[in-house]
Amino acid sequence: MKSKTSPIQAFFRSHAGLFLLLAVLLIATVFRLYHLNTFPPGLHPDEAANGLDIVQRIFHHDWRVIYATNGPREALFFYLQAIFVWILGNTIFALRLAPALLSIATVGMVYLYTKDWFGRRTALLAAFLIAVNPWVVTIGRDGFRAGMTPLIIAAVAFLGGRAYTRQKIGYFIAAGAVFGLGFYTYTAFFMFALVPIGGLIYLSIQNRGWLKTNWKNLLVSVAVTAAVLLPLGVSIVRNPGASTARAGGTSFLNKDLNGGKPVQTLFVSVGKTLMQYNFVGDQNSRHNLPGEPLLNTFVGIMLILGLLVAFSRIGRAKYAAVLAMFFVMMLPAILTAEGLPHALRSIGTAASVFTLAAIGIDYLLMRWYKTFPVNAPARTAAVVMIGLLLFLTMVQGWRQYFVAWAQDPATYQAYSENMVQVGKFLIVKGKNKTDYIIAGGYETIPAEYLLANKQDYILLDRDALRDLPLQGGAQLFVYPSGENSSAITELLKAKFPNGTLTPHNSSFDNSLLFYSFEVK
């Protein structure tokens, strides 16, 4: 006789998928918000440049769609960051809160599109994998606009998939609007345009009836995209060089990078980009624990299996689409010849990588179930084994980011710990003196952002220091340690014999960060 199911048990069973999704989102939130004010441990000049544009331009109503103060950079991400800088002030935490929240939203959006395309189980697996992956966590916790790309791609996949299956005008409009907004996020997103173009070609071969039925809806979607893109188009027409300078400087066609061998350089780029997922990852501590593959062994193998499954079913639109998303969004890295493999330029693939890996896991489970259709212990063993591997994936992701990467001295150097501490030092010292920062323009940007509207200072190079007239009153000179620091110290001692020199070391590993020279 079967026991009766209580209402509470029935409720939890009927909402099991929702509770599992909430658990995944909670895990994603912990991975992205835990010690966000501490890790990454500093502020890279490129991140700080966003902050300077916010406090010096956006807050002064200099609103643009592209800012060229640190190379051409699309501005949508900055406006989202500006909300938190406005609320919390020009701090590191304020700059990083927006990308962290966007990264959490990415987990949810990957779940939504994967659920529509491949089912709930695959969607939960994909969401979990992207929630705990150290590559995505690293990009999601820093202040680089590239981190917004997977969210937009997943949103377009979700809305575009709904438009394809449900054929309602609202989904076509929403998909067109979000697709257009994607061009305001990161230069690499321009490549994503190949996916809908390829989709139309695919449908013209595989499903012409759908095109005949929905051509009016498609025209509306294109019109919405065009309307959203209009300000960006006007900006590019007015200043075309400003919109392509950064991409052109890293292209495999650049003679300074390819050594006169563009074809060979392209093949090398393809190989390094493909190998980054399972073998050798990005060497730049800004993006990755140097050399570690972007995926652990289990997820990497499941990605390969998922790719094989997708290729075997490429005649079905959803598999063709997820393959297109993956390979097209590798192009931003493949078509460059600098800093490869490059985890940041490849971040657009994240929206499909974990869906493909989840397809691989789901296929493995289904094959196991078919092998043991009535053997309950064997079926349970498979679930337990996959569950253990997923748990170990979470542990590995946590340890790689919060232990190995966060405790690597190279990470502190990559995020300009020295100039961040310079800024904090000057804020603490107060305003009863004349402050000077002796350093190059680019490397000082983290200090400039932190000091904006808080502390006045004068930026000098060594030649300007030499010509600085002697004057009365308290003065404080700060400069990073490095190859020029000895010469700067000798010059300051010669000009101000009664000054006091103080070295400042890192609280992390006691390495020398900068000097202060105080004249009273």
pLDDT in tens, 34-50: 999 999 999 999 999 99
Please give the Cα distance from 273 to 289 (Å, whole number): 16
120-132 helix and 350-371 helix, angle to the nearest 10 degrees? 130
Contact 344, 287 (CB under 8 A): yes
- Which strands make up the sheet holding 512-519, listed edge to edge? 458-460, 434-438, 475-480, 512-519, 500-505
Between residues 356 and 370, the one the model is more confident about: 356
Please give the Cα distance from 187 to 242 (Å, whole number): 12
Give the amino acid at 255: K
Q: 223-249 burial by CB neighbour count: b if 16+ within 10 A, else e? A: ebbeebbeebeebbeeeeebbeeebee
Residue 437: which H helix or E strand, with range? strand 434-438
Please give the Cα distance from 41 to 496 (Å, whole number): 34
Four-residue CA torsion sign, 74, 236, 346, 342: negative
- Dmax of the chain from CA atoms? 98
pLDDT tens-digit map of 409-423: 999 999 999 999 999
Q: 87-115 burial by CB neighbour count: b if 16+ within 10 A, else e? A: eeebbbebbbbbbbbbbbbbbbbbbbbbb
Q: What is the pLDDT of residue 1?
A: 45
Contact 141, 96 (CB under 8 A): yes
Which of 43-47, 231-235, 255-259, 370-374 has the lowest average pLDDT? 255-259
For residue 341, cis peptide bond before it (omega within 30 degrees of 0)? yes
Please give the Cα distance from 108 to 155 (Å, whole number): 10
- Confidence bin at 262 (pLDDT 50/70/90): confident
User: 458-460 and 500-505: which strand pairing?
Assistant: unpaired
Contacts of 306 (CB under 8 A, 6+ apart): 355, 356, 357, 358, 359, 360, 361, 363
> Is pLDDT above 50 for 278?
yes
- Confidence bin at 275 (pLDDT 50/70/90): very high
Contact 110, 351 (CB under 8 A): yes
pLDDT tens-digit map of 379-408: 899 999 999 999 999 999 999 999 999 999
Looking at residue 226, the DSSP 8-state letter turns out to be: H
User: 73-74 and 66-67: which strand pairing?
Assistant: antiparallel
> Is pLDDT above 90 for 433?
no
Q: What is the mean pLDDT of residues 175-199?
A: 95
Q: Token pair for residue 399?
A: 């340890």
Q: In whole angstroms, how far apart are CA 44 and each of 6, 105, 308, 316, 415?
A: 55, 24, 39, 44, 4
Q: How many other CB atoms are found less than 10 A from the CB of residue 22?
A: 11
Angle, vertex CA 288, rays to CA 507 and CA 76, nearest 5: 95
- Confidence bin at 282 (pLDDT 50/70/90): very high
Looking at residue 202, the DSSP 8-state letter turns out to be: H
Beta-bridge partners for 74: 66
Number of helices followed by number of strands (H, E) in the chain: 24, 7
Q: What is the model's pTM?
A: 0.94
Q: What is the mean pLDDT of residues 477-499?
A: 92
User: 475-480 and 458-460: which strand pairing?
Assistant: unpaired
CA 285 to chain centre: 14
Contact 321, 157 (CB under 8 A): yes
Residue 50: which H helix or E strand, with range? helix 45-56
> Is pLDDT above 90 for 499?
yes
pLDDT tens-digit map of 63-99: 999 888 777 889 999 999 999 999 999 999 999 999 9
Contact 359, 310 (CB under 8 A): yes
Give the amino acid at 84: F
- Confidence bin at 246 (pLDDT 50/70/90): low
Four-residue CA torsion sign, 304, 359, 329, 77: negative
Q: Token pair for residue 150?
A: 């997977």
Domain boundaries, the chain: 9-409, 416-519
Contact 87, 110 (CB under 8 A): no
Contact 390, 332 (CB under 8 A): no
